[in-house]
Amino acid sequence: GESVGLHLPTLSVQEGDNSIINCAYSNSASDYFIWYKQESGKGPQFIIDIRSNMDKRQGQRVTVLLNKTVKHLSLQIAATQPGDSAVYFCAEKTGSNYQLIWGAGTKLIIKP
Amino acid sequence: DAGITQSPRHKVTETGTPVTLRCHQTENHRYMYWYRQDPGHGLRLIHYSYGVKDTDKGEVSDGYSVSRSKTEDFLLTLESATSSQTSVYFCAISDTGELFFGEGSRLTVL
């Protein structure tokens, strides 16, 4: 079936640098995409979302980019901090279907 | 934080015993979900509810049942627990698309 996947299971970034976490999706009909952050021992927390009629959306220190041509989603974190250490999940949704399809996650490690 | 409480937070049980996990919300959100999370699989939807007494299956519903008798509570039941159901279970709620998650319930089936 359709699935959302991630290019890298682990990403190591120097503190202060920018982080880019990538996600590939296969359902071209998906129209809503979300990024979640999950810290150790906690439930996932919403970071940012984007609809398919947009290419870019910015939040506080985070930017999500959507490339529908190649079905690619990315999360950019500016000036990465130790508190950004977590597993990041992308998820997609199609139309009125309230079920999300989740990727396997990327672990972000911050090097001091 | 969204008002979601899962109980119990940790449980160890034996194969063949029944187990019920409870999710309680104080946000009056319409949709409630049960996910399981296992290494290498991310989050997988077990069952979800779109209203009182309205539930539907997710991608990994075998061996699980749910009930929602009132808006604030969504119960997940394992009628006869198996070792393959050892996992961390997350409840989530939503109204407009964004999901809010509980802290998780770690279940170990021996």
Residue in chain A closest to B101 (alpha carbons) equals: A43
In this structure, what token pair is assigned to residue A12?
Answer: 């190591």
Q: Is the pLDDT of residue B1 over 70?
A: no
Per-residue pLDDT of A29-78, as tens digits, reads 899 999 999 998 899 999 999 999 999 999 999 999 999 999 999 999 99
Residues 2-41 of A with CB under 8 A from B: 32, 34, 36, 41
Residues B31 and A42: their CA atoms lie apart, in Å, by: 21
How high is the pLDDT of residue B76? 98
How high is the pLDDT of residue A97? 64
The minimum CA-CA distance between A86 and chain B, rounded to whole Å, is 14
B101 touches chain A (CB under 8 A): yes
Give how many domains chain A has, as a whole number. Answer: 1
Question: What is the CATH code for B4-109?
Answer: 2.60.40.10
> Which chain B residues contact residue A41 at CB under 8 A?
103-104
A103 touches chain B (CB under 8 A): yes
Q: Is the pLDDT of residue B45 over 60?
A: yes
The minimum CA-CA distance between B92 and chain A, rounded to whole Å, is 9
Long-range contacts of the stretch B38-45 (C-beta < 8 A, 24+)? B38/B87, B38/B88, B40/A104, B41/A104, B42/A89, B42/A102, B42/A103, B42/A104, B42/A105, B43/A44, B43/A89, B43/A91, B43/A102, B43/B90, B44/A102, B45/A99, B45/A100
CA nearest neighbour of A90 among A61, A67, A69, A60: A67
| Domain housing A25 | 4-95+102-111
CATH number (domain holding residue A33): 2.60.40.10
How high is the pLDDT of residue A4? 53
Q: Are A103 and B100 within 8 A, CB to CB? A: no
Q: Is the pLDDT of residue B87 over 60?
A: yes
Q: Which residues pair with A46 in a beta bridge?
A: A36
A100 touches chain B (CB under 8 A): yes
In this structure, what token pair is assigned to residue B62?
Answer: 């075998």
Average pLDDT rounded to a whole number, residues B82-103: 92
> How many Cβ contacts (< 8 angstroms) between chains A and B?
47
The minimum CA-CA distance between B66 and chain A, rounded to whole Å, is 16
Instruction: Say how many C-beta atoms besides its own lie within 10 A of residue B17's C-beta.
Output: 12
| Average pLDDT taken over every residue of chain B | 94
Triad A104, A53, A20: Cα angle to 5° = 40
Average pLDDT rounded to a whole number, residues B23-32: 95
- Tell me which residue in B40, B58, B92 faces A104 most closely, judged by beta carbons: B40
